[in-house]
Amino acid sequence: MRVTKALADENRIRVLVALQHGELCACQITELFGLAPSTMSKHLSVLYQAGLVESRKDGRWIYFRLPNGEAPAMVKQAIRWVSKSVEGQPRVRQDAELLKKILKLDPSELCKRQCQ
């Protein structure tokens, strides 16, 4: 049920697609979606509780990534399904272009900007 709940929101689907490009800092994800940090934190928490993302803390930064090879089959299938379902969607292409720009920015500057 947690996986189903996690997949029932467009923003969480978009997070999964963005993480296909690799690990991202919470600040980078928040910047990509333009949502309040608290809102993004809730979305990431739902994904984490469903096992659809993993996280690691490095100092004051929290990084998210798709699960590694040891993830349950259901989680792997859900991620593959999401990827195939949204392939070629305009919103996904827009996110990919914006993510390229965000990855060029210093995450500490993003965090400062979001905390103001």
Domain boundaries, the chain: 2-114
DSSP three-state, residue 31: helix
> CB–CB of 37/30 below 8 Å?
yes
Q: What's the pLDDT at 49?
A: 95
* CATH tag, 2-114: 1.10.10.10
Q: Tell me 36's DSSP state.
A: -
- Residues in the chain, pLDDT under 70: 115-116
The whole-number pLDDT of residue 62 equals: 92
CA dist 36 and 10 (Å) reads 16
Give residue 13's pLDDT: 96
Contact 53, 47 (CB under 8 A): yes
Residue 62: alpha-carbon gap to chain centroid: 12
Dihedrals φ, ψ of 35, to 5°? Answer: -100, 165
